Structure 1
Amino acid sequence: MYKVMKKQGKIVEAYRLGDNSKVLDDLEKNNKLLNLNDGRYEVFSQEAVNSESGHGQIAKKGDWIRLDSLGFPYPCTNEWFEKNLLHIKGDNYEQIPKSLKAWDYTQDMCKEIEFLIKEKGLKINENDNQKYYCAILWKNPESAAKDAVIVFYNIVYAKDGSIMDAEYNFVERGEFNRTYNIV
């Protein structure tokens, strides 16, 4: 495991699902966002597009999407968004930098990754470099290439040091290099 932090001053575009927005309309037209018309949306991040399921990550009205540097949307809950992003102006926000844990295939196996495998359904496919990591994230199957990074947004430890829960996502290597620093 190593520690990472979003690059300071990194501005992202973000949009609340359910609001009227040309960007949200364009994402729908480009098959990166699907309104399920029941208060839920399928959000097609890079990892969702690369999965075999044909489905996006499930988010709900009132949640937010942030656009990565290639224009792919990533969902986040309203609660997380309000705690972690500062409004700059218009649709621009800055993520409040904080130290996070991350892991990739070059690292030794650790208890956090073992927890994801045993308790959160993470699968590591040694025979497929394009779909090396697979898991259900945001209620849909996701996959990422071998060079992707697993970034932990929150890890809950018990008093004895065992892991009770963990929130994480796959981050495509190019996106990781553009948006994170190793600290």
Structure 2
Amino acid sequence: YGNQLVLPSSAIAIHYGGDHVGSEPQYRKGTLYFYNNTVRLQQPQGTVNGAYLFRLSTTDETAQVWNNVFTFDPGITYPAMRITQEVAAGYTAGGILNLGVNWITAGWADSDPWHPVPGQLKGSQNMITGTTPPVDLTTLVPVANGPAAGSAQAQLPQVAAYPVNYQIDAVTNIPSPRTNGSSMDLGAVQH
């Protein structure tokens, strides 16, 4: 939680589980809690490709995803929530991804058109979409009165012991207290 990730779209932003067909029993099992992060996937204008936010290895892995901002640069042709991986017989790839309230660039899909992902994507109706990023793409600070400002849902009880109390200043990289006031913003930084 509280991360600011700016990645080339050729990267998979979050990979949870494991690698290598046949080693599934050694994969990290259980639930990934992914909240109050700002993720920007970059791509030069005009380049045709997909960009992927999550790779959950098998349905033994689950992610709870809420209060994030996910932006895809305009040159990304296929902005996708998930990508699959090859797994051994007896396992189902794709994981179980539970979406709470998050902001994401309009036009996103579960996967690219050629690589459908097994597993489950739940909660897509909770996503807030738009064509203009709700954060300044340099500082990652939410735009005042934008769709990320004050739009966060309540934290899940499972992470009550891990509140978002601090944020990193994008310019100085110095941690500062995060003051949430009466409502919390989506993403890693409070405006």
Structure-2-length-normalised TM-score: 0.26
Structure-1-length-normalised TM-score: 0.26
Q: Which has the higher contact order (CA 8 A, sep 6+)?
A: 1
